[in-house]
Amino acid sequence: MDVENQDVLLEEEEDEEGGEGEEEDGETVLEELEQTIIPSYGAVTNQQALHMPEWAEFNLQPDSLYFNDGQRRIDFVLVYEDENKKEGHKKSFHRKQMRKRQAYQSNLISRALQLEATRTVLDEKCIFVKVHVPWEVLCKYAEIMHIRLPLQPSDLKTHDSAFGWIRKFFSVDKEIIKPEQDFFTAPFENDRLSDFYIQDKDTFFTPATRSRIAYFILCRGEYAIRDNVKKFGINKLLDSGIYKAAFPLHDSRFNHQSQDPTCPNERYLLYREWAHPRNILKLQPLDLVRKYYGEKIGIYFAWLGFYTQMLLLAAIVGLGCFLYGYFTRDNCTWSQEVCDPNIGGNIIMCPQCDQECTYWNLTITCESSKKLCIFDSFGTLVFAVFMGIWVTLFLEFWKRRQAELEYEWDTVEFLEQEEQVRPEYEARCRHVVVNEITQQEEHVPYTTCGKCMRMAFCTSAVLFWILLIVASVIGIIVYRLSVFLVFSATLPRHINGTEAIQKYLTPQAATSVSASIISFIIIMILNMVYEKVAIMITDFELPRTQTEYENSLTTKMFLFQFVNYYSSCFYIAFFKGKFVGYPGDPVYWLGKYRNEECDPGGCLLELTTQLTIIMGGKAIWNNIQEVLLPWLKNLIGRCCSANRSEKILPRWEEDYHLQSIGKLGLFYEYLEMVIQFGFVTLFVASFPLAPLLALINNLLEIRVDAWKITTQFRRMVPEKAQGIGAWQPIMQGIALLAVVTNAMIIAFTSDMIPRLVYYWSFSVPPYGNHSSYTMKGYINNTLSVFAVSDFRNESKPAFHPRFANQTTCRYRDFRYPPGHEYQYHHNIYYWHVIAAKLSFIIVMEHIIYFVKFAISYIIPDVSKETKSKIKREKYLTQMLLHENPLKSVKKNIGSIADKFLKEADFTLRPKYE
């Protein structure tokens, strides 16, 4: 009798002496156990019918990836805590968990899996159950899962790229990581086993494929049936605490090669040639990443690497535009007028809030106007147009690259053939409907009415939480409006002030920076809440497949994050300072707070500040979460096991003490990068250095993510993926929206259009007094005049002796002066500017959209070379799997017919004779 059976019998003897409550629980457990499903769909009537794992002691071979016999490979590891070692009085609960686990493991063995159990080396509380999938089971489930496997080596010639000589300097040495041999593949069929390229049964199924098959079986292993509802799946057992962990093994330590000669040491190679910081400028060994971690991980790093490479061009152009603005800032006439004591020094501006604020001198915005000249230049327009074209090139070339990877990694027909239904979906299939296509009955988890109700509830929940985010943004706006009064009353605003702090710490700057920091903190807090909310809503929605689940969750999370991250930027860019009225008739927010005004140079600099704080803070925060938290958790775990270094640990126990990557895997990595993509494209007209910052961040991000999954996390279950899923249409939507937002930023947020209108129309007759086109007099022309006597009582500033004789003040707008027939109405300059802004938006949008669609049409989604490879593979697959068997059948039928005719001739000949 094995160790666990002995423990069970001992525990049952102890339970007989327990109370009546425990007896009732025991009866419930037995009722549930009696209905436990086995593959023959019979019922386990007693405990002796359960199949138990083999027991083995650790053989002191820490690098081994096999059972103790050295022959059977470990394809998966299950970990549970021995109930007999637990302290507490919940014996009936522990017995119930034990019996569910025993029933589950018995069903796995009934499915022909082989299990070997070993106690932990450190404290003997945990038990590791190693799972091996035999050859026959691998073949059976490879056919069920439609896994594509090699038919024969590819005979297609590869053409070197024109830039191949450049790539050699950044590629990994082929002697260290040898290129994978290319094969023609086809979905596996057990009946045609001889047609597949099998040189060695032990290597025909890669470790990643073996783990996929093992996980597929584990997710569908039953452990009970109650009230005619099946209970199955390793995920439910993990959630209920019956198992502590379930994972495939790493093949070696990341910093040392394995001593086992049969070990490929792929993890060690990935760390040394991919995840190590010294490889920051090297190209990624994507084929090895895909082989070790699966296509889903591989496609993420392929996309991230491609995005980073494309950012290089955008960063160079953006840096050039920034340098152009930096070196031409001294030629910025309107900034010189602001800083000129004879021009800006004589301009007294109207108060920007009621009562608490006083008059202020235009020269205190001198420093901000100089900075604004860097970002609000002609280079900004050029860069905005360039980025509209760049984003199209990025998306189109990525489609081509993705098509190449789909062919090379055998995922072209993945969604049609391979993807299986989620176990959570299968468990809820209680309703019977007729399939419209097959006209056969099938089970679904809900009726049409139930599905509509679920969708309505999920949509309402999403809208509710989005409105909650909008409410938080309104709270930030109210903060900005209220705190501006405080800063205006406390910060110095003397006309002739020369203190250094006055040059930088203006009420507008203090309000902008503090509000940006608070906004970033609220964004981070809301992120943690909305992640859980989105998961709960998607779980309730119950998508059918994992791809549908991830796409649904992706859409919800991006909607949340889009509003959360970008709402404050949209407010600054398109609403702040646009609806303020004029000093005699200001506009109020919520009927109480006077709307914010922009600096005389516009709100572009404030938008740049907001973007810098959010992008920089987000990058720092994410790196802290991704690097420090897993490292600290693993460090604490090692410190808690003080005797760990004194003992030799097996590979499975080393991996168990690493962190789990979680159910969503790379979802948060994609989300982080797509949010960054939005910042780079949506608001790039205000911050041309955004692509450069994103490039630097991504170079680090690739290595941080690689280091994290290679050194700090358990090996993930390899999964198939055809592409980046719902992120592709999301990025296409961002690309279309980016054209509009950048055109509107240039038109309404920056001061470029008013300057151009002044230069070409109002600096010369009939509106201007200059003999030639010039920017001189621009500031005076764009600041309207207001009579102090026209202030309303509730808006009139408090008395200040310095301004006792002040009769007029200036404000940013295009209105007629007091005493004019249409005083305080918009003047002709205003209507010229509005017409120019609308014309600019229409022209810019149409030009960029035309170029975008032309590029999309010219660049095919699949290259000619990839199309040829796909056609060649389909042809060979047809030849090998269909025509060859047909020829064999014809040959066999022909030989049988000849034999039949000979026998007939021999039988009939004597009668004729």
Report DSSP letters for 133-180, one per residue.
--HHHHHHHHHHTT-EEEEEE--PPPPPPTTHHHHHHHSPPTTTSPPP
pLDDT computed for residue 15 by the predictor: 42
Please, where are the H alpha helices in 745-802?
Answer: 752-757, 778-782
Residue type, 312: L
CA torsion sign for 781, 787, 792, 797 is positive
pLDDT computed for residue 462 by the predictor: 82
Which residues have C-beta within 8 Å of that of residue 248, sequence separation ≥ 6?
75, 76, 77, 207, 211, 214, 215, 715, 716, 717, 718
Residue type, 828: I
pLDDT computed for residue 159 by the predictor: 63
List the beta bridge partners of residue 200: none
Q: How far is CA 343 from the centre of its chain?
A: 52
Phi (first) and psi of residue 265, to 5 degrees = 55, 40
Nearest partner of 574 among 682, 650, 458, 486, judged by Cα? 682
In this structure, what token pair is assigned to residue 28?
Answer: 């419930």
**Cis-peptide, bond into residue 630, ω within 30° of zero:** no
DSSP codes joined into one string, 794-827: TTPPPP-GGGTT--EEEEES-BPPTTSTTTTSB-
Neighbours of 232 (CB within 10 A): 21
Residue position matching structure tokens 């940013």:
812
Which residues have C-beta within 8 Å of that of residue 657, sequence separation ≥ 6?
634, 637, 638, 641
pLDDT computed for residue 292 by the predictor: 93
Q: How far is CA 644 from the centre of its chain?
A: 36
Cα–Cα distance for residue pair 462/216, rounded to 1 Å: 32
pLDDT computed for residue 38 by the predictor: 39
In this structure, what token pair is assigned to residue 557?
Answer: 């999370």
Cα-based distances in Å from 75 to 115, 133, 205, 208: 10, 7, 11, 9
Cα–Cα distance for residue pair 67/247, rounded to 1 Å: 16
In this structure, what token pair is assigned to residue 412?
Answer: 């072209």
Q: How far is CA 692 from the centre of its chain?
A: 20
3-state DSSP call for residue 538?
A: helix
pLDDT computed for residue 435 by the predictor: 62
Give the Cα-Cα-Cα angle 157, 160, 164 (nearest 5 degrees): 160
Cα–Cα distance for residue pair 167/170, rounded to 1 Å: 5
pLDDT computed for residue 879 by the predictor: 73
3-state DSSP call for residue 631?
A: helix
| Mean pLDDT of each 10-residue bin along the chain, 913 residues long | 41 40 43 41 46 87 88 93 71 82 91 92 86 94 88 73 66 81 83 85 90 91 74 84 92 85 86 90 90 92 95 94 88 88 89 81 86 86 91 93 88 58 68 63 68 80 82 78 68 46 59 76 78 83 80 85 83 84 84 74 78 80 76 71 66 89 79 90 89 92 91 89 86 92 90 90 86 89 91 81 84 91 92 94 92 89 82 75 59 55 53 41
pTM passes above 0.85: no
Residue position matching structure tokens 């690493």:
658
Cα–Cα distance for residue pair 465/671, rounded to 1 Å: 18
Nearest partner of 147 among 266, 294, 292, judged by Cα? 294
Residue type, 226: R
Give the Cα-Cα-Cα angle 730, 731, 735 (nearest 5 degrees): 120
Element (H, E) at 116: strand 114-119
Cα–Cα distance for residue pair 148/409, rounded to 1 Å: 10
Residue position matching structure tokens 């009230």:
227
Which residues have C-beta within 8 Å of that of residue 670, sequence separation ≥ 6?
300, 554, 724, 727
Residue 761 per-residue DSSP state: I
Instruction: State pLDDT tens for residues 372-411.
Output: 888 888 888 899 999 999 999 999 999 999 988 988 888 8
Residue position matching structure tokens 């938008």:
607
Q: Are strands 126-132 and 808-812 parallel, antiparallel or unpaired?
A: unpaired
